[in-house]
Homo-oligomer: A and B are copies of this chain.
Amino acid sequence: MKTHTEYLYFHTKKKREYLRITDKVEEIVRRSEVREGMVLVSAMHITAGVYVNDAESGLIDDIDRWLESLTPYGAYPQVQWPPPGQTGAVTATSAPYRHHETGEDNGDSHLKSLLVHHQVIVPITEGRLDLGTWQQVYYAEFDGQRRKRVVVKVMGA
């Protein structure tokens, strides 16, 4: 059994950015000389994610808007739904994240990381990433403008 470990580094210009890293992962797998196995791609920070989806700029905008809707920056929406069995308006109390009491302002980034998930496993078959036609590996930065790290661990034969 072989293992091979490398780290990718990112320092984004914007707070939130979505970077396609399929080629970097593929290169690491090539260097590992693993023909059959798996590669784990896992963010080493708690305000970032790694996911597999489409390299289409409109969709990336949709993903970003969607994440911001469900986990808004700055203040946390405590949703009040209508009572059971009734139809009615949805109201919310917009309270600050409790995490911000520590002096941080990135409560939303932690929730975005949980929502997207911080890691994927890509199978390796005949020395290549065994991905579908449209599948691309993305690093999702939710609290950038600083140095961040992703571990890429290859395991197989």
Contact = CB atoms under 8 A, between A and B. Distances in A.
Interface in A81-102: 81-102
Q: Which of A62, A74, A87, A88 has the most CB of B within 10 A?
A: A62
A33 interface: no
A107 B46 contact: no
A91 B90 contact: yes
Given A5-B125, A62-B76, A149-B132, A85 B96 contact: yes
A121 B40 contact: yes
A77 interface: yes
Interface string A65-87: 11001111011111101111111
A130 B45 CA distance: 12
A24 to B, nearest CB: 17
B37 A155 contact: yes
A38 B40 CA distance: 9
